[in-house]
Amino acid sequence: MNLLIKSAKIIDRHSPFHLKTQDILIENGKITEISSTIKNINNIKEIELENLHISVGWFDTSVSFGEPGFEERENLPNGLNVAAKSGFTAVAVNPNTYPVIDNKSAVEFLINKAKGNIVNLYPIANLTQQASGQEIAELFDMSNSGAIAFSDYNKSISNANLMKIALLYAQNFDGLVMSFPQNNSLSNNGVANEGAMSTKLGLKGIPTVAEELQIARDLFLLEYTGGKLHIPTISTEKSVKLIAEAKKKGLNVTCSVSAHHLFLNDSELNEFDTNYKVKPPLREKTDLNALKKGIVNGTIDMITSDHNPIDIENKKVEFENAKNGTIGMESFFGAINKVLPLEKTIDCITNSPRMRFKIENPTIAKGEIANITLFNPDTEYVFGEENIFSTSKNSAFIGKQLKGKVYGIFANNKFVIN
């Protein structure tokens, strides 16, 4: 496909055109020219949009789609369509399906189902068989089939010896082990952050130490075993400090934070709206501020939507009985762009996650394959149901003032524009 993008400000610190406003010519899916002015001599499709910015295509490292098994929440075709409309050219899909993704056939099913799509899908496979936390799954076989990391999504590994063995074994093929940061005995079926708000509302609390103790354990194990560890969706001030200290020691650890933990705090629970019931729970303002500082200073490596569609039957119930999760791709850029510097935001959803998950990292330069996201970072709007493309509508951002509009993406020689 051929495309001429006019007057776009390039946000890509690896590009020689970083922070410059240029025309970009794409021919047969490849960038063939970048210049201050390019004449459209062949009368190809031209894109000229208000305050147009472009970056390398965004990569979301934690997305749930439901298929197979929970298609009423979301299926793969529509989920990938939502990703494209939300600015993502690649997504890492969680294994919280039925059956779970704990063998090579399940990994290959996801990859084959997504073939030919404008958005690249990368499976995260289960770390343990049946996501039970008891026996390690077929990690090497699943890695060979295309799994980019191993995690029992939103389920912590209580057995420290199992985590130790996983970190040791994965080194044989440079595998990335992920560990959800929650100590189950301390969380004890809580439903909200343990603090003033949970006490006021009479909700069973999950203390911050439940997250921090698990992280401390896993960092001790990593120091003992070596290997690579990724801690997804941290949520507390102390967690940021623990990971910063581990990095200073030279441990091979990375972490992510969700958009909703950067934008929302536990004061949102005042009306018992189950869309705010997420895992980890929304924390206090001091934690939120520490997470934002962790992004800016580089302690936190990446930001994810942690997109998790939940059907209405599992959300429109009492708060204690509702399933955890919020959709987040549609609101993602508008939320994080509202609270973080633009260049840092873009780096946390392009270069940093691709490097960690060993995915080819494109750049915006002549001769490169075009993999780009088009957006306007200055558009302000109130997020509403009309902005939701997902099958499930469980968004924690409805009614929130956001900043930043996605225009579309170009990837795999295809173009989608909103």
Q: Which residues form the catalytic set?
A: 306
* Cα 20 from chain centre: 28
- Closest residue by Cα to residue 133 from 107, 168, 176, 166: 166
3-state DSSP call for residue 135? Answer: coil
Question: Please, is 50 exposed, middle or buried when counting C-beta atoms within 10 Å of its C-beta (0-12, 13-18, 19+)?
Answer: exposed
Q: Give the Cα separation of 292 and 286 in Å (integer).
A: 10
The dihedrals phi and psi of 40, each to the nearest 5 degrees, come to: -90, 70
What pairs with residue 60 in β-bridges? 91
- Closest residue by Cα to residue 87 from 318, 379, 418, 336: 418
What pairs with residue 22 in β-bridges? 8
Structure tokens at 15: 């590009």
Number of Cβ within 10 Å of residue 135's Cβ equals 11
Q: Number of C-alpha atoms within 13 angstroms, CB side, residue 395?
A: 20
Beta-strand pair 401-411/88-93: unpaired
Rounded to 10 degrees, what is the CA torsion of 310, 314, 316, 320? -110
- Contact, 227 vs 252, CB < 8 A? yes
Q: Give the Cα separation of 207 and 341 in Å (integer).
A: 30
The dihedrals phi and psi of 407, each to the nearest 5 degrees, come to: -85, -40
Q: Give the Cα separation of 216 and 376 in Å (integer).
A: 40
What pairs with residue 21 in β-bridges? 9
Cis peptide bond N-terminal to 68, omega within 30: yes
What pairs with residue 230 in β-bridges? 178, 254
